Amino acid sequence: MKRVITTTVINQSGVLNRVTGLLMKRQFNIESITVGHTEQPGISKMTFVVHVEDQRKLEQLLKQLQKQIDVLKVNDITDKAIVTRELALIKVLSPPAVRSEITSIIEPFRATVIDMSKNVITVQVTGDPEKVEAFIDLVRPYGIKELTRTGATAFVRENQKTPSQQLSIL
């Protein structure tokens, strides 16, 4: 199962290595990792998306991460109301003949053209990873020359909905 895990860490050299090394040593399969500073100086936050087999493996992962001296907090936020964002940069082949067609795909995704040459445009798309995925699938037939993704970063929403048992009929 895919889990989104955030860790708050003390920003010391080697901390990313420590965390990824731990995941490698314990055979966890990482889909993506993003790291950056937080609002507090000296504190960074990592978001990683991992595949784990079952609840026990997940528990082990969280405990092992928590054991690291530089790790302050570990949260599995998968089942919470969360905001997840990813950025992708895509170079798409776009000879003049199809350019307007591509532009018409870009618009509904609120993607941005950030560079352009004779036969290639570079598009930036942000959103949750599924949206980014959908966009890439749409432009793939035109020919993707180069693609780079940041991996997901996430946190929990300020307002957590209390889960209701009843399903709306509407």
Give the interface with other proteins as residue ranges (CB under 8 A). Answer: 9-10, 13-14, 17-18, 21-22, 25, 56, 59-60, 63-64, 66-72
Q: Which is nearer to other proteins, 64 or 150 (CB)?
A: 64
Show Cβ contacts of residue 114 under 8 Å, excluding neighbours closer than 6 positions: 89, 122, 123, 124
Decide whether 72 or 93 has the Cβ nearer to other proteins: 72
In whole angstroms, how close is the CB of 81 to other proteins at the nearest point? Answer: 27
Nearer to other proteins, 51 or 67 (CB): 67
Find the shortest distance in angstroms from Cβ 162 to other proteins: 27
CA distance 116 to 123: 9
Distance CA 137, CA 160 (A): 32
CB of 28 to other proteins, least distance (A): 13
Which CB atom, from 2 or from 67, has the smaller least distance to other proteins?
67
Closer residue to other proteins, CB minimum distance, 58 or 77: 58
Instruction: State the nearest-atom distance from the C-beta of 1 to other proteins, in Å.
Output: 17
The distance of closest approach from Cβ of residue 47 to other proteins in the complex, given in angstroms and rounded to an integer, is: 18
